Amino acid sequence: MNWLTNKVLPKFRELTARQETPDNLWIKCPDCGQMLFHSDLEANQNVCSHCEHHMRIGPTTRFTALFDNSRYDLIELPEVPVDPLKFRDSKKYTERLKDARNKTGDRDAMKVAHGKIDGNPAVVAVQNFNFMGGSLGLAVGEAIIAASKLAILQKAPLILFAAAGGARMQEGILSLMQMPRTTVGIQRLKESRLPFIVVLTDPTTGGVTASYAMLGDIQIAEPGALICFAGPRVIEETIREKLPEGFQRAEFLLEHGMLDMVVHRRDMRDTLSRVIDLIGNKLKKPSAIPAKKARKAVPVKVEDAKDDNVKPESADVTAPETKDLKAAE
């Protein structure tokens, strides 16, 4: 029986799932309701040609669209304990996991790949909303840490496409622990002075927005993406007030200074390439001084050091830097 449920049934489901997407399939846009031809939609990067609604896409589609000649290498992610809490709600967590794995063909909700974007090396992590709502659990936590380690090893920027309903409640406190863990992983990346670029896609909510998804050096979002901690319905019910139109959507957040850019999917690759190029060239310059040190260095000149206002020892702040730079030259 075990053999039947574990081996035969998933394979059978996989086969039937494949047959559900023939070439002549029409897809209804969830926003404007227009029927879209599936191959047209695919050619348009899964953006509705009538209303520009950005549909949710998985890691493979992202990687294919992003990397040069659609060539990339997936990295193997660390194994994590399965169902450590033996959790069960209306269904066993192990069963939910099995279903999600059969549906997506992936181990968990995040995949990490590396390759080149316009010739520049990059590590890209993509969260899959189709896998249990992209929820942040042990596996996603490990994936982010593995991605940041790989980026440090390759001295490459890390680009993360976030999409999640929040933390994976079936893993309880262990999923919440991934918030500080991933934050530390990202911090290590920043200490190595490598850029962390976040692309927020629809929807990015809950614990994910309370950790790594909001820590990007550059925060980009796709048009219309819902980005929030608590959802609009919860807030509306709590404060008993009507929320403004477009509340918690990408454009609203951009207007209120929470994002740097809202970028259409067709321009995503070019934008990311430009950002990597700009930051990469800045970092390569030998004269680049970390912003923190540079700020200290500016007011302390040799002449100023004689001034009563400036303590003599503070003049030394710039000294090792300048010496180092001269030695480097």
Q: Does 262 bind Zn ion (CB under 5 A)?
A: no
Helix (H, G, I), strand (E, B) or coil at 199: strand
Q: How far is the CB of 38 from Zn ion (least distance, A)?
A: 14
Contact by Cβ (8 Å): 236, 177? no
Two tokens, residue 97: 């996991």
Q: How far is the CB of 26 from Zn ion (least distance, A)?
A: 13
Count of residues that bind Zn ion according to CB under 5 A: 7
Beta-bridge mates of residue 125: 112, 160
Q: How far is the CB of 249 from Zn ion (least distance, A)?
A: 16
Q: How far is the CB of 31 from Zn ion (least distance, A)?
A: 5
Q: Which of 13, 31, 214, 261 binds Zn ion (CB under 5 A)?
A: 31
Choices 26-34, 56-64, 165-173, 283-291 (CB under 5 A): range interacting with Zn ion:
26-34
Question: What is the greatest pairwise CA distance in the chain?
Answer: 86
Measured distance CA(111)–CA(239) in Å, rounded: 38
Choices 31-39, 60-68, 92-100, 212-220 (CB under 5 A): range interacting with Zn ion:
31-39
- Judged by beta carbon, residue 31 or residue 42, the one nearer Zn ion is 31
- Judged by beta carbon, residue 32 or residue 184, the one nearer Zn ion is 32
Contacts 24+ apart (CB under 8 A), 6-10: 10/98, 10/101, 10/102
Q: Can you say whether the dihedral through the CA atoms of 134, 189, 187, 149 is positive or negative?
A: positive
Q: Does 29 bind Zn ion (CB under 5 A)?
A: yes
Q: Does 325 bind Zn ion (CB under 5 A)?
A: no
Please list, in sequence order, all residues whose beta carbon lies within 8 angstroms of the beta carbon of residue 38, skipping any fewer than 6 positions away. 21, 23, 24, 25, 26, 27
Beta-bridge mates of residue 27: 36
End-to-end CA distance of the chain: 71
Region 32-91 residues binding Zn ion, contact defined as CB under 5 A: 32, 48, 50-51, 53
Q: How far is the CB of 42 from Zn ion (least distance, A)?
A: 15
Where do the DSSP E strands lie in the chain?
Answer: 26-28, 35-37, 72-74, 110-117, 120-127, 158-164, 196-204, 218-221, 261-262
- Judged by beta carbon, residue 52 or residue 321, the one nearer Zn ion is 52
Q: How far is the CB of 153 from Zn ion (least distance, A)?
A: 42
Choices 4-12, 28-36, 90-98, 142-150 (CB under 5 A): range interacting with Zn ion:
28-36
Q: How far is the CB of 35 from Zn ion (least distance, A)?
A: 10
- Judged by beta carbon, residue 50 or residue 311, the one nearer Zn ion is 50
Contact footprint for Zn ion (CB under 5 A) = 29, 31-32, 48, 50-51, 53
